[in-house]
Amino acid sequence: MSVKKIIIIGGIGNAVNVAEQMVDAREKYGFRDEFLGFAFDNESFGKEINGFPLLSKSREVYDKYEKYKDVYFLYQMYRPDKLKERALWLPEFKVPMERYYNFIHPSATVCRSVRMGYGNIIHAGCVLNVNAVLGNHNTFNSTCLLAHDSSVGDHNFFAAHSVIGSNTTIKNYVFTGLNATINNQVEIAENVMIGMGSVVMKSITAPNQVVIGVPAKKLKDM
């Protein structure tokens, strides 16, 4: 299998976390694919971010690297409160869906029956259990659990230690905060922000809201 080379569109926050996790995967686990650098627009960083090269402006990177068929991309320009807005930027980068890369840290457990689309990121220590289904561009930060027979749409972000119960459906643009828990057999509507440490006991059927607490209740509209 040929080695793939990865460029991250983005350059701060979780974009740097992903880069460091890829390096960790190579150094500790013999992971073969290689992180090349960032495509990012903030010139104040100079030529490097955290010691990794800044290769291009974000909206110029595909034109620059399209001809290199071993180069793939990850998208990480999200903010917790702007998942949907930032997801809608995606066509501006002109990257075909099949050129987005799925990064799975070698210490993660992803059952063989899991199905996923493109551009997903599974950080160290995560567990994705039997028959889980992922769409595109989802990020699972360190030590998240996605239980069996659950379904996740597109452009969702699960902060570290998030726990998603079995037979649960999460639609698109959902942010789940640190240590949050979602019960079994519930549904989460689009564009919902679940606060840190919250426990979602029942389905959230209305989109575009922030919920927080134990049990989680609506705080405000997005």
In this predicted model, what pLDDT tens digit does every residue of 168-203 receive, in sequence order? Answer: 999 999 999 999 999 999 999 999 999 999 999 999
Residue 219, number of CB atoms within 10 A of its CB: 13
Rounded-to-integer distance, Cα 92 and Cα 63, Å = 12
Residue 2, number of CB atoms within 10 A of its CB: 8
pLDDT at 88 > cutoff 80 = yes
pLDDT at 6 > cutoff 80 = yes
Instruction: Calculate the average pLDDT of the chain.
Output: 97
Which pLDDT does position 43 carry in this prediction? 85
CA end-to-end span of the chain: 44
Which pLDDT does position 1 carry in this prediction? 65
The more confidently predicted of residues 43 and 99 is 99
Rounded-to-integer distance, Cα 145 and Cα 176, Å = 12
Cα radius of gyration rounded to whole Å, the chain = 17
Sheet holding 103-104, edge to edge: 103-104, 121-122, 139-140, 157-158, 175-176, 192-194, 209-212, 217-221
Rounded-to-integer distance, Cα 160 and Cα 176, Å = 9
Angle at 160 between CA 191 and CA 154, to 5 degrees: 35
pLDDT at 130 > cutoff 70 = yes
Taking only the tens place, the pLDDT of each residue in 40-66 is 999 888 899 999 999 999 999 999 999
Kindly report each contact of residues 184-193 with a partner whose C-beta sits within 8 Å and lies 24 or more positions away, as own/partner.
184/147, 190/84, 190/153, 191/83, 191/84, 191/222, 192/222, 193/80, 193/81, 193/222
